[in-house]
Amino acid sequence: MRVGYQVGQVVQRDSIDHQQQWQNHLEQFRASRDAGFDIYCWAHHYLIDPFQHFQPWPVLARLAAEPGDMKLATSVLLLPLLNPVEVAEQAATLDHIAEGRFILGIGLGYRPEECEAFGTQMSERGARCTEALGLMRRLWSDEEVTHHGRYYNVTGARPTARPYQKPHPKIWQAAMSDPAVRRVGRGGDILYVGPAQSNATIPAQIPLYHQTLEETATMANFAKKYEVYAYHGLHGADDELTRKVTGDLETLMDDTFLVGSPEECVEQIAAYHEMGFTDVALRLFYPEMSQVEVLEHIDLVGREVIPALHAL
């Protein structure tokens, strides 16, 4: 089982100088590389108060200079906010900088203020994502592209950057609700399960994903953080997911966090492997943790968790 290091929005505004934050990220990146992580995953949001965070394209391009054996992933890029021509060419460029180590993880997002800032609607996210992905695939492969859709238009376009990987980087699509799982299956992409789904929900969604793949004849190549989810809300998801992600700490401890000794955490993650999961991304850095604590956590996981997961 491959293991990723997930970087999310956890540094509270004005708690640290931005340059020191960046240097801390670099130190965590190098530590996770040396600890044996397989993938370095960078999250994407805008206007994510009360946190301060950096954007994925330039960050991953910088990290591509010294990845060791790690792949680099957006986890996840909020595709409905962005223009697919821009994303297609940025992804192709980064794929070359990373020499084929790039994974494009995408998701819909859940924050109305981001949609407002980019002139989109929450209700459009699924349709925008589907149309954007279709156009991006053509921009990565066709000599000339004409597309006149509901949201995006190009006429006689000749792409200026094509990916290192053929036909394109691996695509992870995040999905939490059943309709979203079906959308991923229809597109033939890899299902990226978020942290909100419980062990009771996932076993039903995996068959749904595979069933949708077959039906469309395609093949699939701690508390502060969640208080902010509660403040923003989890729009567009079902009631159970909303309860879990915006719930109290006790709820999160039961269904979302992995808590225990290294051996106990391996046992909990192994349950996902038994369901068919091939990769897991671990978030080891939460608000108000010191850099020393984060680095110690990375080292511990590298010594006592990753080898056991690799052996699964």
pLDDT in tens, 179-195: 899 999 998 999 999 87
pLDDT score, position 227: 53
User: DSSP code of 80?
Assistant: G
CA distance 244 to 197: 8
- pLDDT digit string, tens, across residues 267-312: 999 999 999 999 999 999 988 899 999 999 999 999 999 999 999 9
- Span 249-261, average pLDDT: 70
For 259-278, b where at least 16 C-beta lie within 10 A, e where not — what string?
Answer: eeeeeebbeebeebeeeebe
Mapped onto helix, strand or coil, the DSSP state of residue 309 is: helix
> What would the pLDDT profile of 82-140 be if each residue is shown by its tens digit?
999 999 999 999 999 999 999 999 999 999 999 999 999 999 999 999 999 999 999 99
Structural domains in the chain, CATH included, are: 2-310 (3.20.20.30)
Alpha carbon distance 244, 115 (integer Å): 23
Tens-place pLDDT, residues 64-83: 999 999 999 999 999 999 99
Confidence band of 219 (pLDDT split at 50, 70, 90):
very low
Q: What's the CA gap between 51 and 56, in Å, rounded?
A: 15
pLDDT of residue 255: 62
Bridge partners of residue 72, in order along the sequence: 40, 102
pTM for the full model?
Answer: 0.89
The rounded percent of the chain whose pLDDT value lies above 70 is: 87
Residue 240 banded pLDDT, cuts 50, 70, 90: low
pLDDT at 256: 67
Query: Which pLDDT belongs to residue 258?
Result: 84
Query: For 11-45, what is each residue's pLDDT tens digit?
Result: 999 999 999 999 999 999 999 999 999 999 999 99
Q: How far apart are the first and last CA of the chain?
A: 6
Q: Taking the C-alpha atoms of 20, 23, 24 and 26 in order, what is their torsion angle to the nearest 10 degrees?
A: 160
